[in-house]
Structure 1
Amino acid sequence: MLQAYINAHILDGLGNDIVKGTLLIEDEHILQVGEEIDLPPNVSIYDCHGDYITPGFIDVHTHLGVHEAGVGEEGRDFNETSEPVTPHIRAIDGVNPMERAFQDARESGVTTVQIMPGSANVIGGEMAIFKTAGHIVDEMIVKSPSGMKGAFGENPKRIYSGKKMAPVTRMGIAALMRQTLMKARDYQFRKEKGEILERELRMEQLLPVLKKEIPLRTHAHRADDIMTAIRIADEFKINVTIEHCTEGHLIADKLAEHGVQVSVGPTMSTRSKVELDDKGYHTMVALEKHGVPFSITTDHPVIGIDYLTTTAAHAIKHGLSEVTALKALTSQAARHLSIEAMKGSLEKGKDADFVIWSGHPFDVYTTVKETFIEGKSVYKHTSS
């Protein structure tokens, strides 16, 4: 089915601003975007009357469905704290797709999220990318696995010192990370030689990391923890992303030098622990200045996913360019997740994930009028 959304102010996620544009979609995909488009016959036409259209927003670092807000202990399925190294667990096995946060995401123009284990463990398990609409996890998956969770800094120290077991220091965290990756490398060599007679799930799920099929996505706030993550990635020749990157502004030149992908946030949160002391929007401004590619995250439920757009707007107020802010929620977020071939911008052939806004998405008074995933309306605003 052909659908054309005309007279729209289109922000395509790539930095292009089409004031009186048309978005033409066919079934699940985008057919054409531009100012002057010859519409084919038998097309359904929707006049946007100057409303804005953007790509569906992407939050690259969340715990939707595995850390359910307002449920208490029963909804906390995001940290398997029985031991500090758990590469064998998968976020998809703990996601509750009925959680209210998925609806909040759709109502806020967020169409894609990466859901991951928490940061209690040095290695926390596999993560996956989801559409924010659906009732069955398997039908919502965009990509699985999309990364392996790693964590440095205060969280593993606090959890396991309380249990009186390793690791209790940053040195211990790094050592345990190295030991596990070394064991996985040895397992890989033996498997390639045909010497593995009985597979081990923990090691099997680390093989995609060693083969650079997925990155190690590392929770790291402090500058020294960030550099430790990069150091270990270089030692084992694996891909790494830096998640949170609170003190990234202190080493922005080094991040640029290493070409590492970064997610920043949750910047709207309080300074609840020591490693958040220098938290602020100045991190994003410094990363932009040094050409470091970054995305913006809420780390839901630390900050509700409905504040993703608000976070970007605050960053603009503190000096981030509007173009970079939008890319951090769209095309750059898609690159962070390696799904840029299908999502993150309004381009021919990509999934028809888009949002119609009553005004500019970064204006506090703007309302999401309708959210679409793969060409289907998944939320429509109704006046009370």
Structure 2
Amino acid sequence: MFGTQCSWMASCRFRAANLLLTGIIPGPKETNPDETQFYLRVIVNELLRLWRHGVDVVTPQHPHGRRMRVILVGVFCDKPAAHKVGGFASHSHNYFCMQDWIPQSLKATVAAFTRSAFPTRTDSQHREYMSQYQQCGTKAARDEFAKKYATRWSELARLPYFDMCRMIVVDPMHNLFLGLVKTHFYHIWVQLKIFRKNHELRRLHDVLKNLHLPPKLGRLPHLIGPLVIPTLWDACEPDPDGTRLRERRARIDALLQAQKEKKAAQKSNVDATTASSTGARQKGAKGKPSRKKNTDSSRLSSAPRRSSRSQRKSEKGKELVLDSDDEGAREVSEDEVWPSEVEDNTLPSAG
């Protein structure tokens, strides 16, 4: 027990030692995609130096130092950050995917789940579009280009070894916290009756009922449901010609159509009830004198009165002098702090 606890503490210290904060983007508002690249440029400058020149690290086996080089193997973040950092258009763009050119109108179709149904985004193509984006001289031209080609400039393109389309990943942690797993599991598989009540759902509940967890967990996690799905796969019967798949899809389409018709009927009934009640009120109010108030005079009379006299500072207020936020600051050149290989006077470029 003691050895296990010590190894756990050592692993915690090891993980904590590898957490390095490289920078914080100031507020108060979130930077747009082009502004974000200026902050990312500082990190890319260091990554280029660590890859091209490396750093000498002294170790017990190498007292004179050993040359080490560093590369960026991946960027793991949520989807909005992945689009902003990687030079992709917004995740609400018509071409929202970072892997292929599927439009928004087809993301809920069967083709969206079919391999190679749409042209694939490639690193070379993405870099070419980013280079063309850099040639746009005005903000309006850049916005128009991004709207058409779903691409903006990214400082990561300066890393020659980095694949823009394969090395930027939406990590599982954000998928869980953003509710994507819950959406697919409950709203699609359960509510759309893809899981049948007396088949998949019953077996799923049997698995959860007989599941024994370690005492340290305390209770059954509420996200355990999707983790049981692989146990249901072995009960799936083979469907080589896709007959059962087409039948199930037809039933789902009929269910969705029935739900739409029910909502439309409910809306028409509400509209008819509202129209009849409105007509009854208008008929009852016919012939009665108008009691409309003078809203302008009442609003003016209820407005708070303001004095035209200027306020005088008290003796205590006169003695209170606030120091400047830049008191004692010293102007430092950019090259002195972050020496760069390329000037940063213009929009970040691929050169």
TM-score range, shorter chain: under 0.3
Q: Which structure shows the bigger proportion of residues in strand conformation?
A: 1
Q: Considering Cα pairs closer than 8 Å and 6+ residues apart, tell me whether 1 or 2 has the greater RCO.
A: 1
Q: Which structure shows the bigger proportion of residues in helix conformation?
A: 2
In the superposition, the TM-score normalised over structure 2's length comes to: 0.26
- Which has more radius of gyration? 2
